[in-house]
Amino acid sequence: MIQQSVDGVSFALKEEHNFRWLKKHGRVFKVWDEQDSGNLCFGVERNGVRRFIKYAGAKPLKFIGNPEDAVARLEKAKLRYEFMKHANLVRLVHHEKVGDGYMLEFDWIEGVSLRKYSFETLPLHERLHMLTNIFTFHEHVEKKQFVAVDFYDASMIYDESSQTLKVCDIDLYEKIPYTNEMDRLWGSSRFMAPEEFQIGEELDARTNVYRMGATAFVLLGKDQSLAESPIHKVAKRAMSKRKEDRFQTVKAFHDIWKQAVDVSMEVRGY
């Protein structure tokens, strides 16, 4: 292990790497060096404007693999951000090859990773609004014929001050139909459909439906007053083990979900 420093911010790598290219993008004020994806991430500021940079080509401590493979994945990810532009997705503003590495530069999003945010304390209407943003974006993903591989709470940032949620990581989304070739795919098991744990299984729109149901349970599941409510039943159906028993599209799920929310809120007196 070695320690490197850029603009006074230290981070750990398996071996030394050249980061002089960062200078033209601004002053580094934060580094994320614990990803197992092979990427390093930097918060940079230039002329008062902050950006988020994702870089592949170095050897982070937790990365097991070849930097060349991480570079190839990031180059492929660039195409996804361009193809799936959406108001609820972080905006890619620049990309370039840097020596043997590759970088993506995004708008800076104020807020906290949903994985580290105590969203259970938010009023119900705010959590429902968060889900609306998530479901709306994944309807868009569905129209683009992609499946949301590796989508979980760490893939989103929430800014409480503006009540804004953005999806910030679609690096591993795959074109439908996609066959599971890894046995267990990337991601958090709380958000993953059964077919993501079985090599040779096909992922499709119904996999996205499962993930939307799982997301609803993560954001609302601790609210006991919603047990057996219409939205609880809709989310439960979305998470059926058999794909045939789920809603067949995210749009179909979202349409029924909106009706269920109206009924559930009326029962609760909203």
Which of 182-191, 207-216, 225-234 is modeled with the greatest confidence? 207-216
Chain center to CA of 146: 14
Q: What are phi and psi of 105, to 5 degrees?
A: -115, 130
Q: What is the pLDDT of residue 184?
A: 92
Of 81, 107, 133, the last residue of a domain is 107
| CATH number (domain holding residue 221) | 1.10.510.10
Does residue 152 sit in the same domain as residue 209? yes
Please list, in sequence order, all residues whose beta carbon lies within 8 angstroms of the beta carbon of residue 148, skipping any fewer than 6 positions away: 138, 141, 170, 173, 207, 208, 211
Please indicate, yes or no, whether residues 17 and 137 belong to a single structural domain of this protein: no
pLDDT value for 269: 56
pLDDT in tens, 64-117: 889 999 999 999 999 999 999 999 999 999 999 998 899 999 999 999 999 999
Range(s) of the domain holding residue 52: 2-107
CA–CA gap between residue 133 and residue 129 (Å, rounded)? 6
In this predicted model, what pLDDT tens digit does every residue of 177-194 receive, in sequence order? Answer: 999 998 899 999 999 999
- Domain C-terminal end among 79, 107, 135: 107
pTM of the model: 0.93
Asked if the model's pLDDT at residue 270 lies above 70, the reply is no
Residue type, 126: E
Last residue of a domain, one of 64, 79, 107: 107
Domain count, the chain: 2
Query: 55 with 137, same domain?
Result: no
Q: Tell me, yes or no, whether 143 and 247 share the same domain.
A: yes
H-helix segments, the chain: 67-83, 124-143, 205-220, 230-238, 250-268
